[in-house]
A and B are shown apart, each in its own frame.
Chain A
Amino acid sequence: MKRFFLAALAFLTLTLLLTGCKKETASDDKIKIGLNFELSGDVAQYGIAEAEGAELAIEQANASGNFDKEIVAIKYDNAYNAAETSAIITRLATEDKVSGVIGPAVSGMAMAQYQAGNQYGVVMISPSATADAATLDANGNAYDFAFRACFIDSYQGAAAANFVARDMEKLKAVVIYDSGSDYAIGLYNTFSEKFTALGGTIVAAEAYIDSDTDFSAILTKINGEDFDVIYIPGYYNQAGLIIKQARELGIMVPIVGPDGFDSPTLVDLAGASNLNDVYFTTAYSNLSTDPDQAAFIEAYKAKYGKEPNMFAALGYDATNLLLAAIQQAGSSDPAAVQQALLNISGFKGVTGTITFDEYHNPIKPVLMVKLVNGEQAESIEVQP
């Protein structure tokens, strides 16, 4: 018994010492940026992709020579847990004294972070917290220091409804949504609201959970209905499989989705031949001849050996936004950074041109991208 305790104590001391060693990298002659992401747990895929995008942006900023100090990232894993998120934002703000925080990926985590972190006066930019209310406090005012780099749900859902009802002139829709994701439910609600207002009907709404891989039951069920379009608010992992299984069952109607479709994985999972008559809303399309975007894709591929997805791009943009604000402010003081961020207009990121509105949401044009054989064939701008 005693021996065991001695061994355990020795191990714990060792770990403490080792972890203690690491902290010494922090000092004043550096610009510190906190990364608070879901790096383990159910949504680790999204958090890890965003952290990769953010780290790429920091690496490029260091290489660019635009900053006189070295930029370092301090990365923590919140394990998709609100308690750890609160602790981490406090740790970043009070102990590491960062100039700004990037993350987390999921709306729920972002809300916990904004509420816990706003009092410390450090800028927080979530790359992908899309819930409408994420940056708002209980009274509906935006938190001073909370920002995001993505569309809000209502903006995108309404744009999709507008496109389906007005441009495609399809008025009988089936919605297949992820019942465990606030992103999907937010989009579903705003889509159906706008769609019914435009004279459309939601013929059926089917739910799935994110660990599902077999959608044949719900697809067989809707196959008996009369509809002419499917809206799938959700991410590429499930959407890819739904599209594949739907096309194999002979459901050939157009399929519309949100920016959650935007990943090379969608093509892998669905198969290129099944990705015809598929549309999704996004802020950027690789049809644009934007050299910055091409450079980002190249750099990401060179660093990580794979194609970036939307999350990586948003993480990259969120970090560059913060870096641009730091540069504009001319100091890494959080309050100055916040002012600079509010004044930013027309920031050119790889996911579109960003200006913040009064609720600290980015105003970006919505593009509707059409896929033909898995390739982006055309993109048009749509209004929400």
Chain B
Amino acid sequence: MTQFLQQIVNGLSIGSIYALIALGYTMVYGIIKLINFAHGDIYMVGAFVGFICISTFKMSVLSAILCAMVFCALLGVAVERLAYKPLRNPTKAGLFATALVMGFILIYLVAKATLELDNLWAGVIALVLSLALGFFVYFTITPKGNPNRIAALITAIGVSFFLEYAMMAIMGPNNRSYPATLGGTATLAGVQITFAQILIFIITLALMLILTFIVQKTKIGRAMRAVSTDADAAALMGVNVDRTISITFAIGSSLAGAAGVLVGIYYNTLNPLMGMTYGLKAFIAAVFGGIGIIPGAMLGGFAIGITETMVAGYWSSLFKDAIVYIILIVILILKPSGLLGKNVREKV
């Protein structure tokens, strides 16, 4: 019995981590219907920002979390503006910016590696060429919206690779450990609970409530719901669609940043590829609970955490992922829009 209770605690604690990442995932999906594969990597960036804050700048855990949240919010907006918006709703200026920034990175790296230049010269060459590319784009391409959502998905995958390997180039590929801890352990009727587990659980719960409040009760939340239902109609009603989407990205990404620091401290480990697994799991959690629905993300996270723990604890961890996927597929087949999702009737 103690073992069972301990496994429930284990499951809830890993589940609240999935839920924490899934919250941001589900918000972004809810508003632009994009599987944002880069979300897991923004979580990874958050973990690294927190790591640098604590180890290099000797900040406290709380201020490190705040720093990571701000940085990730900015990063999320930048990614949205440079990579997703040009596909969704391109403008000449937007395309210019994308061509400039992406072109600069590309040409800088290629020039530096192949011509063996130093930073300055490679930078100058890249700047000149990418400016040329930017103006070429600005004057020749007529912006056209593109309804192809799979192209946006591939872009998200590109962003994900970019964040992972840019971080690997900056920080090195090795696992690092957090120079901070979150309190001790308490034993309750033979069941061990750490302070960190309680903290993460409470933070997840609180964030879920705050987000639900924002989405349901505030003006910006109303705008989000409007854009999510019908972006064109929302625009006609005076909602600034682009700004609403950017705010959604900022909120979702800052949640991922906070999750990164918390999880980094909790498990005491971080590496540039850590976002992939957690991102995927969190996405599954979001689908499980009903994607786009905030309490659903939380429910899905807990469900997956507990399922994994129970399978690993009472059968074999070889099959925990397989069981999670099987349950997910069964739920999708029985209730295609997730546990809390409403089945929308197709209209002809």
Contacts and interface: CB of A to CB of B under 8 A. Distances in A.
Mutual binders A and B: yes
A268 B176 contact: yes
Interface string A38-61: 001010110011000000000000
A362 B185 CA distance: 46
Contacts of A40: 165
A235 to B, nearest CB: 10
Given A18-B111, A179-B318, A249 B192 contact: yes
B271 A45 contact: yes
Interface residues of B, number: 45
B166 to A, nearest CB: 12
A266 to B, nearest CB: 10
A15 B111 CA distance: 9
A211 B318 CA distance: 13
B313 interface: yes
Contact of B267 (A207, A214, A306): A214
Contact of B3 (A206, A207, A208, A221): A221
B10 A211 contact: no
Contacts of B116: 22
A220 B318 contact: no
A177 to B, nearest CB: 10
Contacts of B7: 217, 220-221
A3 interface: yes
A271 interface: yes
A220 B313 contact: yes
Interface stretch (B167-175, B241-249, B328-336): B167-175
A49 B115 CA distance: 25
Contacts of B312: 217-218, 221
A21 B6 contact: no
Given A18-B111, A213-B269, A237 B175 contact: yes
Contacts of A268: 175-177
Interface in B144-196: 165, 168, 172-177, 185, 192, 194
A241 interface: yes
Contacts of A48: 172-173
Given A218-B317, A241-B268, A45 B110 contact: no
Interface of B: 3, 6-7, 10-11, 13-14, 110-111, 114-116, 136, 140, 165, 168, 172-177, 185, 192, 194, 263, 267-269, 271, 273-274, 276-277, 308-310, 312-314, 316-318, 320-321
Q: Which 4 A-B residue pairs are closest in the complex by CB-CB distance?
A: A217-B312, A268-B177, A18-B114, A211-B277
Given A216-B309, A220-B3, A240-B177, 8 more contacts: A18-B115, A42-B273, A45-B174, A216-B14, A217-B309, A221-B313, A268-B176, A268-B177
A216 B196 CA distance: 14
Contact of A224 (B3, B111, B136, B269): B3
Contacts of B168: 44
Given A217-B313, A237-B175, A15 B110 contact: yes
B145 to A, nearest CB: 18
A121 B271 CA distance: 39
A237 B269 contact: yes
A269 B14 contact: no
Interface of A: 3, 7, 15, 18-19, 21-22, 40, 42, 44-45, 48-49, 179, 206-209, 211-214, 216-218, 220-221, 223-224, 237, 240-241, 244, 248-250, 265, 268-269, 271, 306, 309
Contacts of B13: 214, 216
Contact of B177 (A7, A44, A269, A306): A269
Contacts of A21: 114-115
7 contacts: A19-B114, A44-B173, A207-B316, A212-B317, A217-B312, A223-B3, A237-B271
Nearest to A268: B177
B199 to A, nearest CB: 16
Contacts of A249: 192
A53 B316 CA distance: 38
Contacts of B175: 45, 237, 240, 265, 268-269
B47 to A, nearest CB: 11
A interface SS class: helix
Nearest to A25: B116
Contacts of B273: 42, 44
B10 A265 contact: no
Contacts of A212: 317
A244 B168 CA distance: 25
Contacts of B165: 40
A207 B10 contact: no
A266 B121 CA distance: 41
Contacts of B320: 217
A206 B116 CA distance: 49
A214 B177 contact: no
B308 A217 contact: yes
B187 to A, nearest CB: 9
B136 to A, nearest CB: 7
A49 B175 CA distance: 12
Contacts of B173: 44-45, 48-49
A241 B269 CA distance: 8
A105 to B, nearest CB: 12
B10 A217 contact: yes
A9 to B, nearest CB: 14
Contacts of B274: 211, 213
Contacts of B110: 15, 18
B177 A22 contact: no
A208 to B, nearest CB: 6
A265 B317 contact: no
A309 B176 CA distance: 13
Contacts of B6: 220
Contacts of A237: 175, 269, 271
A214 B14 contact: yes
A216 B10 contact: yes
Interface centre among A22, A217, A223 (most CB of B within 10 A): A217
Nearest to A210: B277
A319 B41 CA distance: 35
Nearest to B7: A220
Contacts of B263: 213
A209 to B, nearest CB: 8
Contacts of A45: 173-175, 271
